[in-house]
Amino acid sequence: MSKKSAEQPPDNKFFGETGSQRKSLDEINNSIEVPKGKGYFRTLMAFAGPGALIAVGYMDPGNWITSIGGGAQFKYKLLSVVLLSSLIAMLLQAMAARLGIVTGRDLAQLTRDRTSKWVGLVLWVITELAIMATDMAEIIGSGIALKLLFGFPLIVGITITAFDVLLLLFLMKLGFRKIEAIVATLVAVILLVFAYEVFLAKPDMVGILNGYLPRMETLTNHPMLYWALGIVGATVMPHDLYLGSSISQTRVYDIDDEASVKRTVKFTVADSNVQLTVAFVVNSLLLILGAALFYGTNSDLGRFVDLFNALNNSKIVGAIASPMLSMLFAIALLASGQSSTITGTLAGQIIMEGFIHLEMPLWAQRLLTRLISVIPVLAFAIYYHGNEAKIEDLLTLSQVFLSIALPFAMIPLIIFTSDKKLMGKFVNRPWVKYLAWVVAIILIILNAQLIWNTIRG
C-alpha cells in the first residue's frame, strides 16, 4: 500500500498542479517518533496528543450553553443525549483517523481530488464558512472570559484574540508535542474546574445514572427535543473531521508497511477514544452542574455572563455561591476558548492547503485564517457597542451553520472510508458502514429540525 497507489489526483486546474502531492500539515507530518517493541501503555503515551486536540472541539464554548441550559431545564434527562453524541463522535473520528493514516491524505485533500472544479469550489466555500463559524464561538467565549476575569471591554477582549494565533506560531517552532501538551493541560483545567464545582453542588447520583438511560420523552416533548438537538448540533463539529484526518499522520510510520499502518491506526484511535471520553465527562459535568444548581430556579441562563453571575448569587445556587466559583467558571471558559482556538486555526490551515493549495508563508496563512473569523465578530461588537447579549446571538447562529455544514464533511468521509480501492484492507466493515450511514441520516434530519426550530424562534 503506497501513497501513490492510494490516490492519484485528477487534473484540476482550479486547485493547481504543484500542490497535488503536498503532505497535510507538511511541517509536522511524520515528524514524531514512536517507540517499537515497548508495552501497550508506553506506546499509547507516545501516540497520545492528537486525541486531545480533537476532543477540545467537542467541549468548546458552543457546547456550554446547550449542556448547562439542558440540565437547568430538564435536570438529568438529557444525559443520554450527551452519551449518544459522544459515541457518534468516537465513530466518526476513528474513521477520519483511519482515512488519513491509510491514504496519507487528509479529508480536504481527498475531497478536492475526487470532485470537479465547481463542486470543489462550493465545498471549499462551505467548509471555510464552517471554520469561520467554529472560530466565532471560540472568539466570543475567549473575549467574554477576558472581560469577566480582567474587566476588559468586550471589543478589546475580542481584539486580543486576533493575536493569540501568534502563540500558535511560537509553539510550532518548539514542536508539535508542545502544542499537544498545552492543549491537554487546558483540557485538564476545564475538567478539574467543573469536577470541583459539581462536587460542591452535591448532585443526585441516582438521578444521574437514570439520566443516561434513553427515553422516548426526548422525542415527544418538543422543548426537550429542541434542547437535545442543540446538544447534538453543538457537539459533532465538521472541522474536527478534517483536523483528525490530518494530525493522525504526525507520528512516524511506514505507509507501505501494512503492520506499521495497522499499529498506527490502532493506537491513534485508542488515543482519540480516551480523549473523547474526557470530553464526554466534561459535557456530562456541564449538564449535571446545570441540573444540580439551576433546575427549578427559573433563572435566565442563556448567556455566559448570566452563568457567571448566577454562581455568585446565593439566592440561586445557595450556600456554595462565591466569587471563586464564578472566577473558576471564567478561567475554564478562557481555557476552552484558547484550546479550541489552537485547533480551529490548525483546521483552517488544513482546509486552505487541502482545497486550494494556498501558496503563502505559514505565519501569514494562520493569521489570515484567524482574521477571517475575527473581523465579522469585531464588526458586530462595534456595531452593538460591545453588548454581550447581541454578541452571543452570533454564537447561536454559528452553531446553526455548523449543523448545515456537517453533512458536507460527514458524507465524503463515509464514502471514502467505504471505498475498497482507496482503503484496501482498512475499508469500513459492513456494520461500520451501515451504522455510519444511519448516524449520518439521523444527524441530518435532527440538524434540519434544529435549523427549522431556530428559524421559527
Inside any domain, residue 381: yes
- Tens digit of pLDDT for each residue in 189-211? 999 998 998 998 889 999 999 99
Inside any domain, residue 443: no
Residue 383, pLDDT above cutoff 50: yes
CB 255 within 8 A of CB 2: yes
Inside any domain, residue 116: yes
Inside any domain, residue 24: yes
- Tens digit of pLDDT for each residue in 133-175? 777 777 888 888 898 898 888 888 888 877 776 776 677 777 7
Question: Which cell goes with 431?
Answer: 456494520
Question: Which cell goes with 247?
Answer: 494530525
Please give the average per-residue pLDDT across 173-186, as a whole number.
Answer: 84
Distances (CA, A) of 392 to 97, 137, 303: 33, 9, 7
Sign of CA dihedral 307, 311, 312, 316: positive
The total number of structural domains in the chain stands at 1
pLDDT attached to residue 139: 81
Inside any domain, residue 439: no
- Share of the chain residues as helix, strand and coil, in percent rounded to the nearest 5: 75, 0, 25
Confidence grade of residue 4 (pLDDT, cut at 50, 70, 90): very low
Inside any domain, residue 454: no
Model confidence, pTM: 0.87
Confidence grade of residue 378 (pLDDT, cut at 50, 70, 90): confident
Question: Residue 412 corresponds to which amino acid?
Answer: P
pLDDT attached to residue 104: 93
Residue 253 maps to which CATH number?
A: 1.10.4160.10
Inside any domain, residue 335: yes
Residue 449, pLDDT above cutoff 80: no
Residue 384, pLDDT above cutoff 80: no
Q: Can you give the residue range of the structural domain that contains 67?
A: 3-429
Distance CA 65, CA 275 (A): 21
Query: 161: how many CB neighbours lie within 10 A of its CB?
Result: 25
Please give the average per-residue pLDDT across 327-342, as a whole number.
Answer: 86
Cα 214 vs. chain centroid, distance in angstroms?
Answer: 24
pLDDT attached to residue 311: 84
* DSSP assigned state of 19: T
Inside any domain, residue 399: yes
- Tens digit of pLDDT for each residue in 394-413? 776 676 777 778 888 999 99
